[in-house]
Structure 1
Amino acid sequence: MASSPQRPWLTRWLPLVVAFLLLGGGAFLLRKNPSRPVTATPGPGGVVTTPAAPAVAPAAEKTLPQAAGRALFAFVPAPANAPAIEARTTAPTKAIHYVALNQALLAGKRSPFWRMGGQGRVDVPLPDGGVLPVVIEQSTLSGPDRYTSVGHLEGMPGSRAIFAYNAGVLQAMIEDNQLNRYTLRSAAGGATQFFQVDPAQLPGCGGSLAPVLDGDALTALAAAKAAKTSVTPQTQGAVAGDVFASAPVTGAMAGAAGVEVRVLMAYTSAARQAAGSTQAAQAMMDLGIATMNSDLQRSNCAARVKLVGTTETTLADDDSTTASANWIANSLTALRKTSDGSMDEIHALRDQLGADLVCLAVNRQDATTTIGIAYILQKPNDATNPLFAFATVGYSYIASSHVVSHELGHTLGCAHARGDSGTTGANDGAYSYSYGYRFTGKNGQQYRTIMAYAPGTTVAYYSNPDVTASEPEINVPVGIPVGQTGETSNALTIDRNAFEVANYRALAAPTYTGTLVNVSTRAYVGTGDQTLIAGFVVQGTAPRTMLLRAIGPGLASLGVSGTLGDPVMTVYRMGTGGAANTIVGTNDNWGTQVAPASATAIVAATSQVGATALTSGSRDAALLATLDPGLYTVNVYGANSTVGIGLVEAYDAEVGSASPTRVVNLSTRGYADSTKLMIGGFVVVGDATQTKRILVRALGPSLTDKGVSGAMADPIISLYDAQGNLLLQNDDWDPPTTTVDGEVLTTRGQADTVREQQIQATGYAPGKPVEPAVLLDLKPGAYTVIVQPFESLPSQPAEPGVAIVEVYEISGP
């Protein structure tokens, strides 16, 4: 809302207008009870509910004190219907205060929330007459008349303040550097409450359900251990020979730079009624996500979460004011199930919004004193992980605790601290170090990170040995380095798993900017069916210039042993409609060119595309060719039938060209075993703020149908970024059939999960279910795909053979 210049008539009437606005403006309270339900309809910012009549009638209108100047609110008497308001939702506090918001500070061009970074100031009054002076650092618009802001308390290092505003409603949490926490929240009947959080009244996570898992999940774990089918997010810890076991990364932020995990926040009708309005419930969801991103930033995590939608849903009996045993856990089971008649619509909405994770806020209190619960990711890269990407939290505690950060931390692979209820001390989370941390500060007092249970005062960090608590009296690292006794790093866990989780769901309408510009594959070059063959497709109406290279001696200079001493390359244009294949060009030594381009032109093209220069006089092979649209292969073999490790490369030499012609498919066929890996690389260029949809697959057994002998029986692919960080692995694009408590989760032979359906829709689904394929939205950069035979000893030893690795650019409609 923009403010306008005042006129004399407005000056006279302004006090009455402000007073009128403040009458519905807000009061707020919190103690220890729940609330009631309604329904949902589409709206901006994802899916939201339409406002319904308040379950608690507003208090009778009367003149209320007004906040002035920088004061965010003024304290007001508790409304006459305060008992009814408080009965609807609990508050972890010893004293609840009602307040009237200073709406003049919240909207308009002069709002301190929209000043340039560090210039906005607001004061948070305290009941004893003191104030908490807040410096607004940044505000982010999340919809019409809806924003979140983050800041800190002036002169208090380590403090923070987070606000979520939506159409006149404000939700907030403030922490000083003594770890005192304050909550500002809306409530039924148009009230607004303010209170200091009493940590003793905050329940814990639902760890009594065996590390945040319900009975369905535990049953799936038992089935997975009994046979090599799918494994739910219950187990981790690689067995000998398990190709999923990767070397530990040594620092947080590995592979997670720029990764956003998309979250759908759902809330029950009872939670919305307790909040007072749809706008208030949405603002609380905004606050939970903003708080988690603040926690991630403070913990030096590169990954972030992004709210892609909110929705109201109906959960029977969530409006009861009587606490129920295991209410949170039972709600999680109902949320995950797809066809039990409870909240089933959320699954279709998740797919529509491309939400990787779903978090449900319920209102009814749990008699087992549980604040939230979630499935924990314990086996990275398992096919069924996306089916357990759910968490449930108590709405009453979102603004007063780290419950959203804690429960979504479980879905990213984080476990509680060692020794906490439900932990065994042996791979409870995704990795051996995926634990929360309980420690002693510089002042001799006990503290705990976000994922750890009591005792100890909670600090707003995921465990990370590379982060020292900024609170002056604590001032010690909040984790133990990986590899040391008691290793703890939830931050590293999150960043290692973020890429996988962020690809649980693809956006329904992806961006199509960017393009593939290079493919390169290093593999063993043999004879016959073990020759190395690269393929690519030039799509469009005009020719495209390509730089093609086969390198052997150049690899030896980089320290690679057993290289191909004298590679030879022949480029074919594949015939269509029964036509014969045509040789485009052949080269043995790149410095000796017959056609179509000179060695000087190859040197210039090599520099232009950013490829490594070839040594003058080397026996590496190269061609620079202008190719008409069509399908091409580059066959690499050794002169005089020699064998060894070689590298075949295909570069688009016209990157940045205005021509619509482009390279849309890059593939390589080669031989691989457990020691001779096939290593493919590709490069995506484009706008750094956008992603490109790419399909990566490896074919093995289906090659037998095309007459290739010695095909690899069961390939697996591993994807790495330019820094060598493992992003994800995939074994089977169509995972084995899995049943949990009679509910079929995956069905081999049917594209029955969203990811499988999307892969099938591209037309590039592998021909065999055991062949891997992934559909990814990738940011510009260089990527590496390693293909090797799957191995899980002792039941399945690696079977070497010939495979094809392929990368497809998925174009727009």
Structure 2
Amino acid sequence: MSSFSRKLDLEMVFGIHHREAGCHANQPCKIPFIGFSIEIPPFLIGLVAMLFFSISPARAGQVTLAWNPSSGPVAGYRIYYGQQSKNYTSIIPIAPNLITTTTYTILDLPEGLYYFAAKAFDNAGNESDFSNEVNTTVVTTSTEPTTTSRQNSRLVNLSTRDWVGAGDNVMIAGFIIDGNGPKQILIRAIGPSMASADVPNLLYDPTLTLYSGQTPIASNNNWQDTQAAAIQTTGKAPNDPHESAILTTLNPGPYTAIVRGVSDTTGNALIEVYEINNLDNRLSNISTRGQIETGDNVMIAGFIIGGDNPKKILIRAIGPTLTASGVPGILADPTLTLYNGQTPIASNNNWQDTQAAAIQTTGKAPNDPHESAILTTLNPGPYTAIVRGVSDTTGNALVEVYDLDE
């Protein structure tokens, strides 16, 4: 019997994070997770092991895996992959002398659909269980985007409105900066201002913290306390002094922003991410985990496509997949509707019912047939995606918006 515990005890998400008993009784060791994910810092959920999966756009035929270092007596990792789900024909060990390495690139892969998972192992060779599985389609021709195409069509704003609860039931948003070189970003946590839009039960005093990996790199409670002049020059200053904002310059990579209520207060809030400069980079993804309730307390993701050209977008509503990682109280059957203004333009309940083949070719198909996805090409303008529970069911869910134009 392996001394790695097989029992998961975790909270999640921007994807999914693991907290488990470890390789030895008094020293934890975690199962890694592969996925486009929101990193939850350890003070919220304890020990975290997470793998972030991406495809390098710079070269064809390759996949790059990157992860946060695992805590506990971990000697290394093994990457498993193959062309059938949960049937891995290749194993890549990350040697013990390379356990501080947090990225690995698999080169010269033939074209096709590939599935990836990972295990951690200790000095005795004991392995953890598999991480969550992800898949992607590898092409052998270069898909490096041109600067012009990115400038002509891009996501210029990403936002999510949801309920902010107490304790760990906060709103957790992740976003990815793609491209080369630093990018200036404005992040806002809005509460009182939504009264003018008749949003009920507002979070009166939201606070905002920005993370790179597990490390907090910026925080704000009331936006006028710091950076007030600089934020005002962007033209996007919050309307209420109790709202929060962070103006910062970030290198390409994944980031997490967490909205809480001061003194553990609760209510509806809005988190927003704006690009301020550097059109050579782009906001390529936002994911937000939150609690789906009934009535108006649903999860609402908004995004704006800027530029002149149509853009290919994939939107997902994830629920049951979180169960495999121990996330409690999941939304068993999410449904997804896309709006242009007040007009619904697309909807989906179970992703395999429509567009299944096209969604699978993106490499980002949901893992559970009860989850929802919409693959569409949209003209420039503002759009809204709303996640509800079928038959007014409730629970934790994840909404994601991907920019598929490389």
Please, what TM-score do these two structures have when normalized by structure 2?
A: 0.61
Partner of 1:592: 225
Partner of 1:704: 323
Matches within 5 A, 1:236-275: none
Aligned partner (choices 239, 252, 260) of residue 615 of structure 1: 239
Q: State the SS of the aligned residue for 2:248.
A: strand
Partner of 2:275: 652
Matches within 5 A, 1:20-31: none
How far apart, CA to CA, are the structure 2 residues paired with 1:699 and 1:529? 19
How far apart, CA to CA, are the structure 2 residues paired with 1:529 and 1:761? 35
Identity of aligned residues (%): 42
Residues 1:731 and 2:360 are matched in the alignment: no
Partner of 2:337: 718
How far apart, CA to CA, are the structure 2 residues paired with 1:546 and 1:698? 25
Residues 1:678 and 2:299 are matched in the alignment: yes
Q: Which has the higher helix share?
A: 1
How far apart, CA to CA, are the structure 1 residues paired with 2:271 and 2:216? 17
Is the CA contact (8 Å cut-off) linking 2:290 and 2:398 kept in structure 1? yes
How far apart, CA to CA, are the structure 1 residues paired with 2:321 and 2:232? 39
Q: State the SS of the aligned residue for 2:368.
A: coil
Partner of 1:539: 178
Deviation at 1:550, TM superposition (A): 0.5
Deviation at 1:734, TM superposition (A): 1.4
Partner of 2:259: 636
Matches within 5 A, 1:386-405: none
Aligned partner (choices 216, 219, 222) of residue 583 of structure 1: 216
Deviation at 1:696, TM superposition (A): 0.6
Residues 1:668 and 2:288 are matched in the alignment: yes
Deviation at 1:811, TM superposition (A): 2.5
Deviation at 1:704, TM superposition (A): 2.0
How far apart, CA to CA, are the structure 2 residues paired with 1:615 and 1:721? 25
Partner of 1:790: 390
How far apart, CA to CA, are the structure 2 residues paired with 1:777 and 1:698? 18
Aligned partner (choices 349, 360, 381) of residue 760 of structure 1: 360
Matches within 5 A, 1:416-565: 513-565=152-204
How far apart, CA to CA, are the structure 1 residues paired with 2:251 and 2:303? 22
How far apart, CA to CA, are the structure 1 residues paired with 2:171 and 2:246? 16
Deviation at 1:765, TM superposition (A): 0.8
List per-residue Cα deviations over 1:304-349 (Å, max 9, x = no partner): xxxxxxxxxxxxxxxxxxxxxxxxxxxxxxxxxxxxxxxxxxxxxx
Is the CA contact (8 Å cut-off) linking 2:223 and 2:245 kept in structure 1? yes
How far apart, CA to CA, are the structure 2 residues paired with 1:557 and 1:778? 29
Deviation at 1:529, TM superposition (A): 4.2
Please, what TM-score do these two structures have when normalized by structure 1?
A: 0.31
Deviation at 1:756, TM superposition (A): 1.4
Q: State the SS of the aligned residue for 1:708.
A: coil
Is the CA contact (8 Å cut-off) linking 2:189 and 2:270 kept in structure 1? yes
How far apart, CA to CA, are the structure 2 residues paired with 1:811 and 1:558? 33
Residues 1:692 and 2:311 are matched in the alignment: yes
Partner of 1:627: 250
Partner of 1:266: none
Q: State the SS of the aligned residue for 1:757.
A: helix
Q: Which has the higher strand share?
A: 2
Is the CA contact (8 Å cut-off) linking 1:530 and 1:802 kept in structure 2? no
How far apart, CA to CA, are the structure 2 residues paired with 1:784 and 1:811? 19
Is the CA contact (8 Å cut-off) linking 1:529 and 1:709 kept in structure 2? no
Q: CA RMSD in A?
A: 1.6
Aligned partner (choices 373, 394, 397) of residue 803 of structure 1: 397
Q: With CA pairs under 8 Å and 6+ residues apart, which has the higher RCO, 1 or 2? A: 2
How far apart, CA to CA, are the structure 2 residues paired with 1:645 and 1:720? 20
Letter in 1 for 2:393: E
Unpaired runs of at least 5, structure 1: 1-510, 575-580, 736-752, 792-797
How far apart, CA to CA, are the structure 2 residues paired with 1:545 and 1:788? 33
Aligned length: 256
Larger Rg: 1
How far apart, CA to CA, are the structure 1 residues paired with 2:239 and 2:338? 30
How far apart, CA to CA, are the structure 1 residues paired with 2:263 and 2:272? 22
How far apart, CA to CA, are the structure 2 residues paired with 1:678 and 1:769? 20
How far apart, CA to CA, are the structure 2 residues paired with 1:682 and 1:725? 15
List per-residue Cα deviations over 1:285-311 (Å, max 9, x = no partner): xxxxxxxxxxxxxxxxxxxxxxxxxxx
Is the CA contact (8 Å cut-off) linking 2:238 and 2:244 kept in structure 1? no
How far apart, CA to CA, are the structure 2 residues paired with 1:561 and 1:810? 34
Is the CA contact (8 Å cut-off) linking 1:529 and 1:708 kept in structure 2? no
List per-residue Cα deviations over 1:762-784 (Å, max 9, x = no partner): 12111111110011010000000
How far apart, CA to CA, are the structure 2 residues paired with 1:665 and 1:627? 15
Deviation at 1:586, TM superposition (A): 0.7
Unpaired runs of at least 5, structure 2: 1-148
Letter in 2 for 1:685: G
